[in-house]
Structure 1
Amino acid sequence: MGLVSGLVDAAVVLFSGVLAVAVPLIDAQVCLPEWLYPAPLLELKRWYGETYGDYLMAEKPHFFTGLVWVEIAFLWPLSLANFYGILARRPWAATTSLMAGVSIATSMAAILAELLGSGRASDQLLRMYVPFGVFALLAILRGLFSHAKPRRPTATSHVPTARKKRA
């Protein structure tokens, strides 16, 4: 079980790292003004849209813009917390993983419904989005089933010690 748990942790850390970088630099271009971004980042977004046929990034429908705002305000800080919390083995990382997983799963439900329902999504574009759905599932499972190991009391902790009663 330790190997599976370690692999899930590695996957969640990897995707959290990707989101920590991609949300402010790429995704936020959907709703923030272009003048905030240097030309290479604008070109990277344009290249991605053309290469993968991501019409959501190009056309910026209102529901997608709203999801990006949720990513900026909620998911990005959670991704940073996940990245740190899992690597530092903090007990609260299970909670942030669960929150991030549920947020991504909710967004992916709306995005995949649009992509599959519109008939406009290429196989290449679907292959780009589906891993985020898998990540959401892994993050949810990590949040639900990870068990924080109990801490051992140290000399500096305030744990009551057993004393013999004196008469």
Structure 2
Amino acid sequence: MRSLASPEEVSFVFLELIGNVVELMLDPSGNYVFQKLVEICCEEQRTSIILMVTKPNFQLVNISLDSHGTRAVQKLLEYVTTQEQRNLIMLALCPGIVALTKDSNGLHVIEHCLKLFSNEDNKYILDIVANNCFDIATDRSGCCVMQYCVDHAQGETKERL
């Protein structure tokens, strides 16, 4: 995949893999193929990937909870370029925020969102964490996320945390 020179070659590989992105993300070796695909594909192709992994309810959350999937999701987050992509990801993650904060794999996805996205984009995450702060803060992984949230929150949300 590193040697692909033209958009046509990337498109060919993309079309071969797009139907299996979820399986690739969860596979011990396939997640590396997925990560490289995310790096080389164009914005429109990444949007297609995001639509594929966010359409079924809780699919992105479940991928994020997996030890291989979390790496794939983190790489995907690093290459998000549009507001539409951020919105799709946030809508898909929000129902599982508490579970993600309390999981040793999921917490990395939350931390990546807080690090890479704007405060406005992260508002939903921070509100959910603030609303569930006792439950999250008393968990081993959740405690780390809580500290990260406090560091990245601003204004009223920071005060609530």
Superposition TM-score, scaled by structure 1 size: 0.25
Higher relative CO (Cα under 8 Å, sequence separation at least 6) belongs to 1
> As a proportion of its length, which structure holds more helix?
2
Superposition TM-score, scaled by structure 2 size: 0.26
Structure of greater Rg? 1
